[in-house]
Structures are given as structure tokens and as C-alpha cells.
Chains A and B, each alone.
Chain A
Amino acid sequence: MYVELQNINKRFGSFQAADNVSFSIEKGKLIGLLGPSGSGKTTILRMIAGLETPDGGDIIIDGQRVNSLPASSRGIGFVFQNYALFRYMTVFDNIAFGLEVQKKDKAYIKQRVNELIKLIGLEGLEKRRPHQLSGGQKQRVAFARALAPNPHLLLLDEPFAAIDAKIRKELRTWLRETINKVGITSIFVTHDQEEAVEVADEIIITNSGRIEQIGTPIDIYKNPATPFAAKFIGESIVIENYGQLHGFETSEGYLKAIIRPEFVRVTKKEQEIYPHASERGTVEAIFFRGNMLELRLTVGGLKFISYRSLEDDVITVGEEVSILIYRLYLYNDYQVRLVENMAFKANDAFTI
């Protein structure tokens, strides 16, 4: 394992930022630390960097315990949330700074900086000051500056938080590809699950200073280990009284269930295929979501959401429709359980 955290604890006054945190990261992986505000993810990142000192536990990088190693000797590149570019230096000087500190010779610095400027695609902007750059460009410079001294580990604190939604997507793809190209082990912090799912090889979900789950994005989506993970990854809606739905029955110890829009299939009444497994419900509202429709549905007292392709038959507000629910996550304070629609499964088997 390249980076290892063992039983890390950190308190700020009464605030528990890290509560017995342990995890390990393989070399070359791109890891997303995902969690809501105040979940402790930034503190974890800053402790790995050496910007904060843990109250207890060990941080190991490349087999070496680095707790007492100063931040500057850990061989880490850090991209700050607001980039922290040196406002009074040019793009070139910003990227060259770390190399100058290491007293590299001028020719090497020039060659290395130019190489990085090419990598980030900002040729011709070397002489600009940070305030003359767009958000995306600043981010690229911060990235190049962190990479310049050839760190072994790259840490990024909310790398996309300060960027317009429009270019954020483009930048995500770029960052992923560039990190792969450079081949550096990287950890980034984000509160945006979509971002984490799209960019990271593996996701670490944090909540209230604890780790909820570690795994690939698909893994977490399919098999959430905790109710928090289930709710945090993917769209989800919480319902009670799930026992009234066809094909499901109330399970001991599980009062609530999570339902994802993908688990719900809506058909026009007359096209209903599995009557035993389906519900009758009403369409309360329809929203256009750019590339699909979002339907708000009610069945009895329960409300949930489904998506519908624009190519499908037109459904109108107020219409009574057939609703098939494939599966639910049942959960309580400690556990999550996936249950399938039994009537649908039986029916399915029957038709085959």
C-alpha cells in the first residue's frame, strides 16, 4: 500500500474532525474523498499533507511514517481549494517556485516549466498574472505548480468548487486524463457525488469524522454498506410504509426504505405488463431535465420520482399510470438490505 492511515484522530475543540480513521491507497490510484460539509474530509487531506497534525494515529507514505516529517519534506503536491496562486507572480514564476526553492539550475527550471505549461495547454500565457486567467486556467496552473517538483503524491482540495458549472465537466475529464498520463497517486476531496463518481477510481465516503465506505463508484452504488452511503451516492428518496407496495413486505427491524429513480418504471395504464407486481399511481408533476423527463408520482401516501425518456409515449400531469418498482434498499440506523420485488420475480419466472 502506498498511502496508509492508521487510527487517525483529530479534534478541534469540541469538533471531532477525524474519529479513528483508517484506510489505505494503492500506488497510482486516483482516490475521491467524498462527504458533506463538516465531514472531516479536508482535515484528513490536510493531515496527509502535513498542514495539520493528527492527535493520534499514524500516517504512512511509501512505507515511511511521516507524522513528524515537516510538510515540505513529504514529497507531496497540493492543489488548494482557491488555488492559492501567488498573485504577484506570473504563471511561469508560479510554476517555477518549487523548483527555485530546491535550487535547481535555471536551464532545468525553464525546460521543466515549459513542459508543464504544454501539459496544461496554456502555451503563450506564461507571462500572465493569476488575475488575468479564467477559473479553469487558474486551476490548471495550480495543478502544474503542484506537479513541478515531481511529487510522489498529489492532493487536491475541492479542485472544482470554484469553477463554473459549464466548464467543470470538461475540466473533470481533463484532470482525470492528465493524472492518468502523469501516473501519479492522487487524492482529491469533494462534496459532489457526481464528481467523485465520474473522476475517481475509488471513493472513500466520510461522515462526521468517520469513514462510511471505501470502494469503486459502481460498488458503492450497488452495495451501499451504510444508510448514509446509500443516500449519498446516487439519487434517492426515503419512504416509509413500504409494505403496502406490491411485491414487498414489511421486514422486522427496518422501518424505512430508500428508493432510487432508476428502480421505478412507469408505463401507461393500458400498456401494463405485470399487474401483480405493479401499482396504480398518479403523475403529480413533470419537469424537463434537459435530456429526459422527471416524473413526480404518488401511490397511496407515498411519493417518489422516476425518469422517462423523451422518446417514450407522452404522459400528462394528473394521468393515472402503472408503476413497477424493481427493488428497494431497506435500512435502519446501522444496516442496509437490498430487497427485490418478489411478485415481479415470481411473475418473471412464470412468464419464462
Chain B
Amino acid sequence: MFHLKKNSGMRKNNVIPGFGLSMGITITMLSLIVLLPLFSVLLTLSGTTFNDFWRVVTDEQTVATYKVSLSCAAIATTVNVVFGILLAWILTRYQFPFRRILDGLIELPFALPTAVAGISLTTLYSGKGWIGGWFDKIGIKISYTTVGIVIAMIFIGIPFVVRSIQPVLEKLDPQYEEAALALGASRSRIFFKVVFPEILPAALTGFGLAFARCIGEYGSVVFIAGNIPYKTQITPLIIMNKLEQFNYAAATSIALVMVIFAFILLFGINLLQARINKIARG
């Protein structure tokens, strides 16, 4: 029937009572808690000239933090996509002992307070820690270096990627793969030609979400980063430093750059996804 699918939005007629009340509450709360405070960023910056703004956000030390944040997030998220696909695959396609526990564990970075994760990772990867100790012997330092930042970012990013891909793999009909198998395709060929294109949009979403989270993340990264200017200082940290110096204008300027970047990132991912979906549907 025409009204079921094509015009699914149409079916919602305002026969159901309570629209005014619920819309009112929604808009009011959203404005008070999110929009108005966010608007203050622009309000605060209205007293700043563009030149001042530009000087702050392109300051050498600030730019160095962008580089650290972006490169570490890129590496961590790439690692997460690879392992995320692997984990989603084994969790949906194989039966093995402790599968359910592993599955439940994926969410740990969501549930564990970031500060706890931060001090725990720092200790674990420090020169005296269980893992850091081993690397220390061969002369590699992890905590208080960019490697440490990457590790912390991998930690917080895992669930985003796995949980984006998993439902797609669950829904993907095994007959699809069996059909390819029946045609004589090899396992790896099936994965890259049949399965991978199916999970690509989901993997991209996961990438985008994890990447955005990594760039904004503070708690789990701040301890392991060491906060050495030009080397291991990430962007949220420099905002924090400016705040501690009561340099609100500078902190707000850099914050605006981050907000704009986050929006562009999510918008870009949405666009890319729309395009991939279009290709898939022909």
C-alpha cells in the first residue's frame, strides 16, 4: 500500500494528543541545557577580533596539539577498524568458549569511568607496569609518549567500531556467502568481494564515531599523555591549560575550532555513507 512504505512519515497524523506539551518540554530543555550554553561560545568570542582568534588557533603550540590529536586518533581508529571487523566477525560467525563474556566485555570502555581507565592504562604501560616493563627492557617507552596516547584512544574507540559492524554482520544472510562458496570462490575472496562491501558503510560510521570520540577524549588520555608541549599535548589538554591560566578567550577559540571540526567530520561521514548506499542500491 502506498501509505505504508513510501510515505511512512505521512502515517503519523497529529491525532495523538500531547504534541504541544511534549514539543514544548523538549525544546525548552534542549535550549536551556545544550543550545544556550553552546551559544555562549559565540557570545564570548564576539568580543574578540578575528585576528586575535586566528593568532590563538594557529599558534605554534596549538597547531602541534592538532597534529598530535589527529595523527594519534587516525592511527588508533585504523587499528580499531581492523580489530573491530575481526572481533565483530568472530563474535557473530563462530561459536567458542567465553564468547558471550567477550561479547559483553566490548562495552567495558563505555561503562568504565575514563579516569579509571586512564590511571590503569598509565600504570600498565609505564616502565614498571606489566606490559610497559617488557617494552622498557627493549628500550621502548609507552606511557608519556604518543604511543601511550594511541593505546588510550584504542581503548575508548573499540566499542564504537564493533557495535557498528556487528548488527550488519548478524543480519547478513549466510546464504549470501554460501552462494559465493558454491560458485567456487575462496574464503578470502568471499570476504573481500562479498562481505566487506556489505559492512563498509557500518565500518565507516564506526570509524567516524570512534574518531570523533578519540579527538574529544580527555579522561583516559590525560594521564598517559604526559602533557609535554609540542610532543604529547592533545587539543583538549591545551584548552584545559588555557582555562587554568584563566585565558578564557583562547580556550574558547580553540574550542570553537574543535566543535567546527567535529561537525565537519560527522557531516562528511554522513555524506560518504549516503554515497555508498546510493552505489549499493544502484
Chains A and B in contact, CB within 8 Å: yes
Known: A12-B7, A15-B7. A81 touches B1 (CB 8 A): yes
Question: Would B13 and A46 count as touching, CB distance under 8 A?
Answer: yes
Question: Would B15 and A42 count as touching, CB distance under 8 A?
Answer: no
Asked whether any CB of chain B lies closer than 8 Å to the CB of A32, the reply is no
The interface residues of chain A lying within 8 Å CB-to-CB of B2 are: 15, 37-38, 42
What are the interface flags for B179-206 relative to A under an 8 Å C-beta threshold, 1 for contact and 0 otherwise? 0000000000000000000000000000
Question: Would A42 and B10 count as touching, CB distance under 8 A?
Answer: no
Asked whether any CB of chain B lies closer than 8 Å to the CB of A175, the reply is no
The interface residues of chain A lying within 8 Å CB-to-CB of B13 are: 46, 51-53
Asked whether any CB of chain A lies closer than 8 Å to the CB of B100, the reply is no
The interface residues of chain B lying within 8 Å CB-to-CB of A42 are: 1-3
The interface residues of chain B lying within 8 Å CB-to-CB of A81 are: 1
Bound-state CA distance A38–B1 (Å) is: 7
A70-84 residues with Cβ-Cβ distance < 8 A to B are: 70-71, 81
Bound-state CA distance A43–B6 (Å) is: 14
B1-51 residues with Cβ-Cβ distance < 8 A to A are: 1-3, 7, 10, 13, 15
The interface residues of chain B lying within 8 Å CB-to-CB of A58 are: none
How near does chain A come to B20, taking the closest CB pair, in angstroms? 14
Bound-state CA distance A15–B9 (Å) is: 14
Question: Would A37 and B1 count as touching, CB distance under 8 A?
Answer: yes
Among candidates B1, B7, B10, B15, residue contacting A158 with C-beta atoms closer than 8 Å: B1
Bound-state CA distance A43–B2 (Å) is: 10
How near does chain B come to A309, taking the closest CB pair, in angstroms? 37
What are the interface flags for A48-72 relative to B under an 8 Å C-beta threshold, 1 for contact and 0 otherwise? 0011110000000000000000110
Nearest B residue (CB) for A50: B15
Bound-state CA distance A43–B3 (Å) is: 8
How near does chain B come to A220, taking the closest CB pair, in angstroms? 23
The interface residues of chain B lying within 8 Å CB-to-CB of A12 are: 7, 10
The interface residues of chain B lying within 8 Å CB-to-CB of A50 are: 15
How near does chain B come to A55, taking the closest CB pair, in angstroms? 13
Bound-state CA distance A236–B3 (Å) is: 28
Bound-state CA distance A46–B7 (Å) is: 14
How near does chain B come to A80, taking the closest CB pair, in angstroms? 11
Question: Would A71 and B7 count as touching, CB distance under 8 A?
Answer: no
Bound-state CA distance A70–B14 (Å) is: 10
Bound-state CA distance A12–B3 (Å) is: 10
What are the interface flags for A12-53 relative to B under an 8 Å C-beta threshold, 1 for contact and 0 otherwise? 100100000000000000000000011000110010001111
The interface residues of chain B lying within 8 Å CB-to-CB of A37 are: 1-2
Bound-state CA distance A191–B3 (Å) is: 14
The interface residues of chain B lying within 8 Å CB-to-CB of A15 are: 2, 7
How near does chain B come to A163, taking the closest CB pair, in angstroms? 15
Nearest B residue (CB) for A191: B1
Bound-state CA distance A12–B15 (Å) is: 17
Question: Would B15 and A71 count as touching, CB distance under 8 A?
Answer: yes
How near does chain B come to A195, taking the closest CB pair, in angstroms? 15
Nearest B residue (CB) for A81: B1
How near does chain B come to A99, taking the closest CB pair, in angstroms? 19
How near does chain A come to B160, taking the closest CB pair, in angstroms? 33
Bound-state CA distance A37–B3 (Å) is: 9
Nearest B residue (CB) for A158: B1
The interface residues of chain A lying within 8 Å CB-to-CB of B15 are: 50-51, 70-71
What are the interface flags for B232-246 relative to A under an 8 Å C-beta threshold, 1 for contact and 0 otherwise? 000000000000000
How near does chain B come to A78, taking the closest CB pair, in angstroms? 10
Nearest B residue (CB) for A72: B15
Nearest B residue (CB) for A13: B7
In this complex, the member of B3, B13, B15 whose beta carbon has the largest number of chain A beta carbons within 10 angstroms is B3
A135-161 residues with Cβ-Cβ distance < 8 A to B are: 158
The interface residues of chain B lying within 8 Å CB-to-CB of A158 are: 1
The interface residues of chain A lying within 8 Å CB-to-CB of B10 are: 12
The interface residues of chain B lying within 8 Å CB-to-CB of A43 are: 3
How near does chain A come to B58, taking the closest CB pair, in angstroms? 47
How near does chain B come to A13, taking the closest CB pair, in angstroms? 8
Nearest B residue (CB) for A161: B1
Bound-state CA distance A71–B15 (Å) is: 7
How near does chain A come to B142, taking the closest CB pair, in angstroms? 53
How near does chain A come to B213, taking the closest CB pair, in angstroms? 37
Bound-state CA distance A342–B2 (Å) is: 44
How near does chain B come to A35, taking the closest CB pair, in angstroms? 11
Bound-state CA distance A240–B82 (Å) is: 64
Bound-state CA distance A50–B13 (Å) is: 9
Nearest B residue (CB) for A53: B13
The interface residues of chain B lying within 8 Å CB-to-CB of A191 are: 1
Bound-state CA distance A191–B13 (Å) is: 23
The interface residues of chain A lying within 8 Å CB-to-CB of B3 are: 42-43
The interface residues of chain B lying within 8 Å CB-to-CB of A51 are: 13, 15
Bound-state CA distance A158–B3 (Å) is: 12
A165-201 residues with Cβ-Cβ distance < 8 A to B are: 191
A281-306 residues with Cβ-Cβ distance < 8 A to B are: none
How near does chain B come to A98, taking the closest CB pair, in angstroms? 15
Nearest B residue (CB) for A49: B15
Name 7 A/B residue pairs within 8 A (Cβ), A-sorted: A37-B2, A38-B2, A42-B3, A46-B13, A50-B15, A53-B13, A81-B1
| Known contacts A38-B1, A43-B3, A50-B15; 6 further A-B pairs (Cβ under 8 A) | A15-B2, A42-B2, A53-B13, A71-B15, A81-B1, A158-B1
The 10 A-B pairs at the shortest CB distance, nearest first, are namely A38-B2, A71-B15, A51-B13, A51-B15, A12-B10, A37-B2, A42-B3, A37-B1, A52-B13, A12-B7
